[in-house]
Amino acid sequence: MTKRDELLVTVITTADYMARWDVLSDDVMDWIDAAIKTTSYYDRVMWKAVRDAYNGLLTAYEFEDIMLQQISFQFRRGWLAGLRELGASMTPEMEAELQDAMVEELTYVQKLMNDITQAARDESGYDQFRDRVRMWAHRYDEMRNRALLFAGGNTLLTWEYGATEDHCDDCREYEGTTRAAIEWQKYKAPQSRELECGGWRCDCRLVPLDTGMLFAPRYR
């Protein structure tokens, strides 16, 4: 990890800690998220770790440590971003849901390391792992959406297209649709692996409506 990335991790960690104690306003946290460009940041860090592991510059332990660290940062920041949009705060139930999501994701890290090791032995190149890294980088967006669904209650959420040029049939079906968060739980959410596009190929998102905020539960 470069000195620049280490500094970003420090900024991220400090900002997240302060957000938990309501030290920073939502506007400031939104500005920090936009400034860091979360998805591209995680993509860059994880992709470098894959290249370095393939080229023998990282041990399996070092690679897994980087991936675990990034997943932990990424998932929590995405979840907190979703809660800020609802005006909600973390509860023990939400923390348990977040931890379960992290544990599930971590099971894939060792398999990735094993595949990288085998690819290095076969000298088959590391470009084959590009899509897998992109999928991981978009987990920030997935966790934001999961927080909206988990904590949204009757908050009205609208599925909006992102900047992706070619949308899959699932995204086209849901685009412009407005449902309560509790209803959206029955459908495939943006960035979900169950979508035809796999989630990581699009940046569609659920956006809370102002009118729906009147009915949103406040976990204070």
State mean pLDDT over 19-25.
Answer: 54
**Whether 16 contacts 77, CB under 8 Å:** yes
**Whether 141 contacts 75, CB under 8 Å:** no
- How far is it, in rounded angstroms, from Cα 126 to Cα 48? 11
- How far is it, in rounded angstroms, from Cα 99 to Cα 118? 30
Buried b (16+ CB within 10 A) or exposed e, 185-215: eeebbbbbeebebbbbbbbbbbebeeebeee
- How far is it, in rounded angstroms, from Cα 81 to Cα 83? 5
| 145-201 pLDDT tens trace | 889 988 888 889 888 877 666 777 777 788 888 989 888 887 766 656 667 666 666
Distance of CA 184 to the CA centre of its chain: 18
- Interior CA angle at 159 toward 158 and 163, to 5°? 130
| 30-59 pLDDT tens trace | 555 554 546 777 888 889 999 999 999 999
* φ/ψ of residue 207, rounded to 5: -120, 125
> 3-state DSSP call for residue 61?
helix
Sort 1 into a burial class: Cβ within 10 Å, 0-12 / 13-18 / 19+: middle
pLDDT at residue number 105: 84
Mean pLDDT of the chain: 77
Residue 214: half-sphere exposure toward Cβ, Cα within 13 Å: 2
pLDDT at residue number 183: 87
pLDDT at residue number 49: 94
Query: Whole-model pTM?
Result: 0.70
pLDDT at residue number 57: 96
| 81-100 pLDDT tens trace | 889 888 888 999 999 999 99
Give the best-scoring range by mean pLDDT among 12-21, 109-118, 132-141: 109-118
Sort 78 into a burial class: Cβ within 10 Å, 0-12 / 13-18 / 19+: buried
Nearby residues of 70 by Cβ (< 8 Å), 6 or more positions away? 42, 45, 46
> 3-state DSSP call for residue 211?
coil
Q: What share of the chain is helix, strand, coil (3-state, %, to 5)?
A: 65, 5, 30
